[in-house]
Amino acid sequence: MTNTRKTPATTTATEPEAAATAPAADAPTVVGPQLRPGQQPEKVTFAHHLRIAGHDFRPGENALLSPDYARQLRGNGYLARGRA
């Protein structure tokens, strides 16, 4: 049996393309999955130790997450519930 997998061609990005894909300097750093268009990051407090994207978060630490990811982690018990 032969392998028919094709490797993608490598392309070099021009300066305008690279600038368009780079995050803005004043944009907040969001941990985990990226925000969808129109979403605002949510500041959360961790209730348990969790490792996200190679960074360890201890209980009581804060981070900015996408609302969808925060909802998922809150349901699994990793985030402290917000006070109303």
pTM equals 0.64
19-37 pLDDT tens trace: 455 556 666 789 999 999 9
| CA quadruple 28, 31, 37, 42: dihedral sign | negative
Number of H helices, E strands in the chain: 2, 4
CA distance 15 to 27: 20
Q: Taking the CB of residue 19, how many other CB atoms lie within 10 A of it? A: 9
The CA R_g of the chain, rounded to the nearest whole Å, is 18
26-78 pLDDT tens trace: 667 899 999 999 999 999 999 999 999 899 999 999 999 999 999 999 999 99
CA distance 40 to 30: 10
